[in-house]
Chains A and B, each alone.
Chain A
Amino acid sequence: AQTVTQSQPEMSVQEAETVTLSCTYDTSESDYYLFWYKQPPSRQMILVIRQEAYKQQNATENRFSVNFQKAAKSFSLKISDSQLGDAAMYFCAYRSASGNTPLVFGKGTRLSVIA
């Protein structure tokens, strides 16, 4: 079974600075998708960024980018120019490319942004 590990329960960053959240996963599959979801306090989970395993190029969405290392099974999220609104729980998630499997989530990293 696939597993996702987020080794940083909590992180903090100064406003306007850069922070990197770590995620590792375990799978025997070669084709899959990886996601970072953001869950603000008392608000619903939203997708931050998505990476297809067959793509070597790292995904980027505005201030959010990933460092995808397939051989190392590592998928970190970099947030540049951090803003107060970035404060949230961040979940790394895995899904097989077959489409008939649900998301497998890590335990999350709580990010605090210091003004």
Chain B
Amino acid sequence: DTGVSQDPRHKITKRGQNVTFRCDPISEHNRLYWYRQTLGQGPEFLTYFQNEAQLEKSRLLSDRFSAERPKGSFSTLEIQRTEQGDSAMYLCASSLSPFDTQYFGPGTRLTVL
């Protein structure tokens, strides 16, 4: 069991560029969550998947954000036309079922210049 992994760990981009992050959950975990954490704050929910189905999206997830989980395994989070306000740590978590503990990855730190 290698845990939840995220790639890249750090991303620096210029305003207006598109970025994509990847999350690999723990094997056989059906639930996958994306959170965003800004400096001095706790993580805030963005969206989650049950297998390949995206079940809920937060109001934080503007139309510039899109997430996918093809085949119910890894997930990607894309941000289009990045803004400086998108600078944050993007955390991925997975759980075996809706009622089980969520295990977090190391996060992707995004800096938008």
Known A-B contacts A107-B42, A108-B42; the reply to A44 vs B97 at CB < 8 A is no
Additional A-B contacts beyond A93-B42, A99-B98, A103-B93 (14; CB < 8 A): A4-B42, A44-B104, A44-B107, A45-B43, A47-B102, A91-B42, A97-B99, A99-B99, A102-B33, A102-B48, A102-B56, A105-B42, A106-B42, A107-B42
B55 near A100: Cβ-Cβ < 8 Å: yes
Q: B103 on the interface (CB 8 Å rule)?
A: yes
| Distance of A48 from chain B, by nearest CB (Å) | 11
Number of inter-chain CB pairs below 8 Å: 51
| Distance of B73 from chain A, by nearest CB (Å) | 20
**Contact-residue bracket for chain B:** 20 to 34
A44: chain B residues within 8 A (beta carbon): 3-4, 104-107
B101: chain A residues within 8 A (beta carbon): 35, 47, 50
A-to-B contact residues, CB < 8 Å: 4, 35, 37, 43-47, 50, 91, 93, 97-100, 102-108
Tell me the chain B residues, 58-113 only, with Cβ under 8 Å from chain A: 91, 93, 97-99, 101-107
A107 near B107: Cβ-Cβ < 8 Å: no
A100 near B40: Cβ-Cβ < 8 Å: no
Known A-B contacts A44-B107, A45-B91; the reply to A103 vs B41 at CB < 8 A is no
| Distance of A26 from chain B, by nearest CB (Å) | 15
Q: B44 on the interface (CB 8 Å rule)?
A: yes
In the complex, per-residue mask of B1-15: 1 if CB is within 8 Å of any chain A CB, else 0: 001100000000000
Expressed in whole angstroms, the Cα–Cα distance for A98 and B91 within the complex equals: 22
Known A-B contacts A46-B104, A107-B41; the reply to A99 vs B55 at CB < 8 A is no
